[in-house]
Amino acid sequence: MIYCGIDWAEKTHDVALVDDSGELRAKRHITDDAAGYKLLLDLLAEFGDTEEDPIPVAIETSRGLLVAVLRTGKRQVFAINPLAAARYRDRHSVSRKKSDPGDALVLANILRTDMHAHRPLPGDSDLARAIAVLARAQQDATWNRQQMANQLRSLLREYYPAALDAFATWQNGLCRPEARELLKAAPTPGRAAKLTRPQIAGALKRAGRKRGIEAEAERIREVFRGDFAHQPPLVEDALGQQMLALLGQLEAACVATDDLARAVEEAFPQHPDADVILSFPGLGTQLGARVLAEIGDDRTRFDHARGLKAYAGSSPITRASGKKSSITRRWVKNDRLNHVGYLWAFSAITASPGAKAHYRRRRDEHGDWHAAAQRNLFNRMIGQLHHCLQKHELFDEQTAFPTQLAAAA
């Protein structure tokens, strides 16, 4: 049996092959291009790599072209955490020396000794991996949009509070196209006070507003002409230029978020698991796509719901030593899936009578705080999702929360 370890870098990679006895059989230094990948595959083939019996590979990343080349066929690729690899390195050298060829050898020996303790990359379908790319990109764009909106709001508080008051009644506030269009037309409070009703109405129409334009224009005009403190004129103009720069970044983030959301809406319903995921209360297209992106569609990845719950960070962790023990929340988890779980549980409370009854029971009978009760609800529902995906069954309210529904009735 041959085991392969690859210490990857941006431009070059070090490869090491070891056998069952731990003897180094070969090592190579390859480039990160098509020629280097061919050299790697030829080296593996030289030592018995076949399509039916491929050589397992350990590497410290789960993404990139090199990993994509290695994942073709039935090959098992193990993404080893760099912290775990560092602990294994101490087993082979107490002097704490480190080198790229040595790290490749350490990775190969990890598979030789402890391959059973590590999980290979899941065998997700190409469609699931494509949805994962889009869903994660849309989630990142959403976070980036909110960050830019917070920066813009902080700047407006320094010199332009009238704008914040004018947009306070709108959902999503500064992220709305009407708000962005008005800030372009009047980047300073002095210019905003001079806007006429037709100018404000025109900005609302350019932003796509269809109804209530005249009344909204009158309301915004009254706010802009209200009594507010002002910065000196030169400082106000400079802050207006800074605001326009931030506004351009926010607009780009909003456009990217909307484009990626449309791409997710087109791709996610094509997946066979979409109907099962969307049958759960509180899960729409965007949240459902994020769930699928993180758990994938490889049914062998999580043999039991306990593994999925631990991966999502919803199940508690017990620490015991001697006579002392404590039960706390998990800190090592998939942060993206955990964030989806918070939004999912929050929406499910209003969308499902059983989920709401379960949440109230955790709050009233067990004394959980809001976050703990939501985490407990997410823990229960992701276990139900695991069962439904394994059996390909749709969510059933009576089966999921029989006791809670009876108590609610």
254 in the same domain as 150:
yes
Q: Are 219 and 167 in contact (CB under 8 A)?
A: no
| In the chain, % of residues over pLDDT 90 | 71
Tell me phi and psi for residue 5, to 5 degrees.
-125, 140
Average pLDDT over residues 329-350: 91
Using pLDDT thresholds of 50, 70 and 90, give the confidence band for residue 234. Answer: very high
What is the chain's alpha carbon radius of gyration, rounded to the nearest angstrom? 28
**pLDDT (0 to 100) of residue 406:** 57
Are 326 and 347 in the same domain? yes
Model confidence at 403: pLDDT above 80: no
Q: 245 and 289, same structural domain? A: no
Q: Report, as an integer, the average pLDDT of 268-274.
A: 95
Residues sharing a CB contact under 8 Å with residue 289, sequence separation 6 or more, in sequence order: 131, 134, 135, 138, 264, 267, 268
Q: Which amino acid is at 399?
A: T
The pLDDT value recorded for residue 229 is 86
Burial 312-323 (b: 16+ CB within 10 A, else e): bbbbbeeeeeee
pLDDT given at position 49: 87
Angle at 57 between CA 52 and CA 61, to 5 degrees: 135
Q: Determine the average pLDDT of the residues in 340-345.
A: 94
pLDDT in tens, 73-132: 889 999 998 888 888 887 777 667 788 888 899 999 999 999 998 889 998 899 999 999
How large is the average pLDDT for residues 370-396? 94
Per-residue pLDDT at 223 exceeds 70: yes
For residues 145 and 99, state if they share a domain.
Answer: no
**CB contact set of 34 (below 8 Å; sequence gap of 6+):** none
Q: How far is CA 122 from CA 128, 158, 170, in A?
A: 11, 50, 43
For residues 174-186, average pLDDT = 92
pLDDT band with cut points at 50, 70 and 90 for residue 185: very high
Residue 215 placed within a domain: yes
Domain count, the chain: 3
Residue 409: pLDDT band by 50, 70, 90 thresholds? low
| Residue 122 covered by a domain | no
Residue 88, Ramachandran bin (φ over 0: left; ψ between -120 and 50: alpha; else beta): alpha
Identify whether the C-beta of residue 39 lies closer than 8 Å to the C-beta of residue 28: yes
Q: Is position 124 within any domain?
A: no
Q: Are residues 255 and 338 in the same domain?
A: no
Mean pLDDT of the chain: 91
Domain range enclosing 333: 275-408
Q: What is the pLDDT of residue 407?
A: 60
Going from the C-alpha of 11 to that of each of 35, 36, 98, 182, the distances in angstroms are 12, 10, 19, 47
Nearest to 124 by CA among 298, 303, 289: 298
Give residue-wise pLDDT tens across range 280-333. 999 999 999 999 999 999 998 898 999 999 999 998 888 888 888 887 888 888
Q: CATH number, domain at 75?
A: 3.30.420.40
* Residue 377 burial (C-beta neighbours within 10 Å; 0-12, 13-18, 19+): buried
